[in-house]
Copies of this chain bind each other. A is one copy, B any other.
Amino acid sequence: MRKVGQAARSAARILALAPAPAKNAALEAMAKAILANEAAILAANAQDVADAVARGQIASYVDRLTLDEKRVAGIAAAIREVAAQPDPVGRVLASWTRPNGLEFERVSTPLGVVGVIFESRPNVLADAGALCLKAGNASILRGGSESFRTCAEIAKALRAGLQAAGLPEAAIQMVPTADRAAVGAMLAGLDGNLDVLVPRGGRNLVSRVQAEARVPVFAHLEGVNHTYVHAGASLDMAVAVVLNAKMRRTGVCGATETLLVDQAVAPVFLKPLVKALLEAGCEVRGDSRTLSVDPHVKPADDTDWATEYLDAIISVKVVSGLDAALAHIERYGSHHTDAIVTDDEAAAQRFLAEVDSAIVLHNASTQFADGGEFGFGGEIGIATGRMHARGPVGAEQLCSFKYRVKGQGTVRP
């Protein structure tokens, strides 16, 4: 792993100065190589999937692991979408001139070396490698043993792309899973050759990385997300937004886990909201008010308000107003993604200002918590920390900056 780190640092120095066309040519060549190697990728994946089935893994796990022709095409398309983004390096983020004539520019630069530790979904290898490359960063990618064969084939295609564009192959390195000490070495920062770590996977993985990493981490532990139906909401919009926020896909980190309904509209709204959820196949766990509107509602206990179900289950609570909704979200939320549904602009402004989450939405589904939906062409993850990156982390947030200062022989008095 020491050599992996050193090779990544050397590659990062070259990537930092690589012009945008070279990086985009590599990305395009990668996409082509992914499609050209489709048969080999699918064959390797079939072996990984067979092993997972033999180990008795559950269907959702096997589904995350499985590739088919459409998903392979999706991997290539995602790489091309990253290539199509504006170059995030070398942007002048701010510029100003001081009274002494010094001209200042804050200019975006790559971060350096990005480590990713991921589970199950083999496409993370390509997504993360492509985004890091776009931002001029070298990446060190460590997948789980369950996707090892698939990832090895994808990594081949990525290397072919780098080679085709004349960029160093160490720009995207896949760590052999057989190396048990690899994760520990990455957590320790690879002798200063790793600048940031991104864990992608289950709670256990993320919490271990957050607890043990000696380098900065971009991550979210969970998304206990809320949709608050305010007194000023219309019922139709509330039902549409809540249904989508909870049920579009229940396993994503942007799914709503708790519905808060303002008591001013609860007498009219609560019953149809609960009915719509139940009819969509969602289990509803409610407070006493919610229990009273439908016999199928189960009682929520205090742990429900802090639970990320990642499943077709929702907790529902009637709150006395905006202040109570804000207090509930502050107490039980995870600072990930929260939404208000209302036609009352003042209430929406307060909600957007006062909810301390990475993403706050007004009259929109929490399921938009996704770098692609933000227009970032992908994401390496979603961060709930306040340092450097927050929310979906795309190529732009995979950059740092530096100051360029120009004088005319200017000296300081």
Distance from A57 Cβ to chain B, minimum over Cβ atoms (Å): 28
Interface residues of A in 356-370 (CB under 8 A from B): 356-365, 367-368
Is A71 among interface residues, defined by CB-CB distance under 8 A? Answer: no
A386→B9 CA distance, assembly (Å): 14
Q: How many copies does the complex hold?
A: 2
Question: CB of A353 within 8 A of chain B?
Answer: yes
Which chain A residues numbered 159 to 188 have a C-beta less than 8 Å away from chain B? none
Task: Give the contacts of A334-388 with B (CB-CB under 8 A).
Answer: 341, 348, 352-354, 356-365, 367-368, 373-375, 386-388
Shortest Cβ distance from A99 into B: residue: B375
Q: Of the candidates B112, B363, B391, B412, which one forms a contact with A373 in the assembled complex, judged by CB atoms under 8 Å apart?
A: B412
Q: Does A406 contact B (CB under 8 A)?
A: yes
Most buried by B among A112, A365, A411: A411
CB contacts (< 8 Å) of A16 on chain B: these are: 356
Q: Which of B96, B243, B367, B406 contacts A375 (CB 8 A)?
A: B96
Q: What count of chain A residues pass the 8 Å CB interface test?
A: 61
Report the separation of the CA atoms of residues A113 and B305 in the bound assembly, to the nearest whole angstrom: 26
Per the 8 Å Cβ criterion, residues 387-402 of A in contact with B are: 387-388, 390-391, 400-402
Partner pick for A368 among B358, B368, B412, CB 8 A cutoff: B412
Q: Mark A198-232, 1 if CB is under 8 A from B, else 0.
A: 00000000000000000010000000000000000
- Check if B353 sits within 8 Å of A17, measured CB to CB: yes
Bound CA span A357–B248, Å: 46
Q: Which of B90, B102, B352 is in CB contact (< 8 Å) with A404?
A: B352
Q: Tell me if A360 and B403 are in contact (CB < 8 A).
A: yes
Within the complex, the shortest CB–CB distance from A9 to chain B, in Å, comes to 11
Give me the 5 closest cross-chain CB pairs, A-B, nearest first. Answer: A364-B407, A244-B411, A237-B409, A386-B400, A388-B388
For this complex, 12 residue pairs linking A to B, each with C-beta atoms less than 8 Å apart, are A90-B353, A96-B375, A98-B374, A104-B374, A109-B356, A111-B387, A341-B409, A361-B404, A361-B405, A362-B406, A365-B412, A367-B411
Known: A16-B356, A368-B410. 16 other contacts (CB 8 A): A90-B353, A98-B373, A102-B364, A102-B373, A216-B387, A241-B410, A241-B411, A243-B411, A244-B411, A364-B406, A364-B409, A368-B412, A387-B400, A390-B401, A390-B402, A390-B403
User: A residues touching B (Cβ–Cβ < 8 Å)?
Assistant: 13, 16-17, 90, 96, 98, 102, 104, 109, 111-112, 195-196, 216, 236-237, 240-241, 243-245, 248, 330, 341, 348, 352-354, 356-365, 367-368, 373-375, 386-388, 390-391, 400-412
